[in-house]
Amino acid sequence: MALPVGPTWPVVVTRPEREAVAWVQALAQRGFEPLALPLMGFAPPADLAELRRARQALADCDAAMFVSPQAVHAFWDQNFDKNMPLSIDGVGIQAPRIDDFGSAAWWCRHALRCWAPGPGTARALRQCGVPPARIDQPPADAAQFDSESLWPVVRAQVVPGARVLLVRGDSGPPPAPGGPGAARGAALGTGRNWLIHQCQAAGASVQVCVAYRRGAPVWSAEQHALARSALARRAVWLLSSSESVGYLKQLLPGQDWCHAAAVATHPRIAASATALGFGRVWQARPDVQEVLAKLSGLAEPPPR
């Protein structure tokens, strides 16, 4: 499948609206034509009381694991549902914070460590006032940014009696077996559940807090038209979530994806895209510069 070449080459940014702003800016600066089409919608958690209890108990925890940037902002940002756009580096933008978690005094009183599976979550933590020295994340040269790469970094912190809070989102029923989103839960022993088991096996207690609900976005007529246009123009889809790949089936029912191309930011996401029927799928870690390099390489004309 031939890819378009040139400064108007379209790339579909499927990240949540809050994160997509920075990715759109970075793509435009490199000469691509970014098209923002979020594949994930968000809502408050079903049990707000649980979220409030987890916030109040944070000072008693030794570590808090945030599974994504959305988990960070849903936990610390009372205006999370307003989906405030944030910059890629956090310069000049401050997210609203609850209580005094963002104050230096709070962090001086408590020894809490904050765990991030990748640089996007680490940026979100800094934007919400967490001191960089309190953030643990995989090394910059990690093969993948995920829970498995995070574990060697934090393993020494997990001792018998340690208290770990895991902040995550919740979704609707799981995808049907064999469906496009099936890869999300197919690989047992991976992801956040794997990390929970590692912590428990080391003698730590793990509390899970659902800070938000996620689901398929509600596209407008204009967004549906933009998606159809992107497919017709052979745009490359930038995919950052296996679950959101599954939503494409209900957003664009009956669509044949065999002529579509995608860059996926994790092997599990790539597997979901392949299962949906994407004709070509490449992988890059969820790092802006790495994704831009991958896309730039795809845009080069094939050698003669």
Task: Enumerate helices (H) and strands (E) in the chain, giving the number of each.
Answer: 12, 11
- Please report the pLDDT score of residue 300 as a whole number: 55
Kindly state whether residues 132 and 252 are assigned to the same domain.
Answer: no
Q: How far apart are CA 165 and CA 180, in angstroms?
A: 31
The answer to whether residue 1 sits within a structural domain is no
**Does 78 reside within a domain?**
yes
Q: According to the model, what pLDDT value does residue 63 have? A: 97
List own/partner pairs for 194-197 with CB under 8 A and 24 or more apart. Answer: 194/147, 194/148, 195/65, 195/147, 195/148, 195/150, 195/151, 195/166, 196/166
Q: pLDDT per residue over 180-216, tens digit each?
A: 333 333 333 346 889 999 999 999 999 999 998 888 8
Q: Is 48 inside a domain boundary?
A: yes
Q: How many domains does the chain have?
A: 2
**End-to-end Cα distance, the chain:** 16
Same domain, 131 and 265: no
181, 253: one domain: no
Contact 93, 188 (CB under 8 A): no
* Domain membership of residue 289 as a residue range: 10-40+218-299
Same domain, 151 and 293: no
Say if 174 falls within a structural domain.
yes
Helices assigned H by DSSP within 119-173 = 119-127, 147-154
* Within-domain flag for 193: yes
Same domain, yes or no, for 82 and 197?
Answer: yes
Tell me whether residue 2 is in a domain: no
In a domain, 153, yes or no: yes
Paired residues of 33 in beta bridges:
10
Question: Last residue of some domain: 181, 215, 249?
Answer: 215
Distances (CA, A) of 77 to 51, 54, 63, 74, 125: 12, 14, 19, 6, 11
The pLDDT of residue 178 is 37
- The HSE-up count of residue 126 (CA atoms within 13 Å, CB side) is 19
Neighbours of 273 (CB within 10 A): 28
Q: Which residues of the chain have pLDDT under 50?
A: 5-6, 81-96, 98, 173-190, 301-304
pLDDT given for residue 46 in this prediction = 85
pLDDT at 80: 54
Kindly state whether residue 81 falls inside one of the protein's structural domains: yes
Domain with residue 28: its CATH number is 3.40.50.10090
Pick the last residue of a domain from 161, 194, 215: 215
Question: Does this model's pTM top 0.75?
Answer: no
Residues 223 and 144 in one domain: no
pLDDT value, residue 201: 95
From the CB of residue 152, how many other CB atoms can be counted at a distance below 10 Å?
Answer: 11
Provide the pLDDT for residue 89.
35
